[in-house]
Structure formats: structure tokens, C-alpha cells
Amino acid sequence: MSKNIFIVDDHPMIRQGLRKMIEEKTEHKFVGEADNGVQALKLIEELKPDIIVADISMPEMNGFELIRTLKKKQFVLEFIMLTMYKEEEYFNKAMELDVKGYILKESTGAEFLKCLHEVSHGDYYVSPELSGYLLKKTHAANTFLNQKPSLKLLTQMELKVLKLISENKTSKEIGEQLHISYRTVQNHRSNICEKLQLEGYNKLLQFAIENKQLL
């Protein structure tokens, strides 16, 4: 299925190379490009792409800030991060933002095309050099579940609320993001506390923040 692709990178040659690959070697449609996040925001609102390929390090607004802003505006998009950063810190930030693809700029064109194919079909793709981080994260999450089995009692909506609590969002902000009322959020918080045997909202916030990487 053809997708509309938008590229954000402050290096013209990289944008040109990606555009050429998309146009010549895929069924997807290249719809636009920008060299920074601020410029990208305006164009994305106008062009409404399906997939954003973005660098992390950019002037004015970096890739992470761009994704957070688009999520707040409730755009339905998938993201691929194309970056030079191999550090686990950056990888974890991308995973927290539910980035579907994370590949290194040193990767081959074939790897980019494979990543684009996987993401366009709703799957995840991570550069092989970084797959160890993903395995480590999965192992940590499984260990966490074994240590706190009551997490399995939470509903999907309660898990979403808990994840947003870990981002230090207020009940009002959570309600707006999930399109539910303030009272409903408060009820979810109470249910989470009861299921996880946490006494008080401060304990819930503390638990969520301490385990943010694993939620």
C-alpha cells in the first residue's frame, strides 16, 4: 500500500538521496521535505503525510521535539528516525515516543528501504547494530512484569493512563490526550492504585516515573 513520505533533515544531500530512493525504488509517494522541525510543522499540517523520516539533531527544533509536538496535535503518523547517534539514551527516547523505525545514517540504502517497507506495513525496524538495545529493553520489561505481576491486571486504557502519568502529565492533560473526562481519568488512577497496591496519588506518580522506561 502506497504511503506519503515526508523528510526532515538539515543536510540537503541526505534529503536528496532519500528522495531519489523513495521515488525510484518504492511504491510510496514523496510529498515534501524540510531542513528543520519548525519548517516541517507547517508543511506537515498542509501536506498530511503518513510517514515522517526525521533526523534527531536539527536547528530550531530537534526530531524528538517535532514528534512530541505532532503527537500533541494528534496527528496520525508513523516515524522513522535516521540518525548518527548510537547511544542507548537516544534509542530509549525514540522508543518512549513509539518511533517505528530507528536506523543509523551510516546504514546502506537497502537497509533504509527495508525499514521503510516494515514501517509502512505497521511493523517496527531497528538497525541491526542497535538490536541489542531492543533485546535488553524487552528483557528488562519481562523481568519487571515478573516482579510486579499485578500490572497484568491493568486494562489497556489504565496502561495508557499510567504511561502518561510517567510523563508527569496532569489528569486534565491525560483526559485531553485520551479524549476522556477528568473524572474518568481520576477513576482510572484510583483503579490503578488499587490493583498495584499503591496508597495515594503521590505513590502512583513515584512508581510511574521510577519505572517510566519499562511501561
Supply the pLDDT for residue 120: 95
Which positions of the chain have pLDDT values less than 50?
none
Q: Report whether 97 contacts 79 (CB < 8 A).
A: yes
The verdict on pTM exceeding 0.75 is no
**Of 124, 61, 139, nearest in space to 94 by CA:** 124
- Nearest partner of 44 among 6, 18, 2, judged by Cα: 6
The C-alpha cell that represents 14 in the structure block: 541526505
d(CA 79, CA 115): 11
For residues 49 and 31, is the Cβ–Cβ distance under 8 A?
Answer: yes
pLDDT tens digits, one per residue of 144-186: 666 677 788 889 899 899 989 988 899 999 999 888 999 999 9
Residue 152 confidence (pLDDT):
80
pLDDT of residue 135: 57
Residue 53 burial (C-beta neighbours within 10 Å; 0-12, 13-18, 19+): buried
Q: What is the CA radius of gyration of the chain?
A: 19
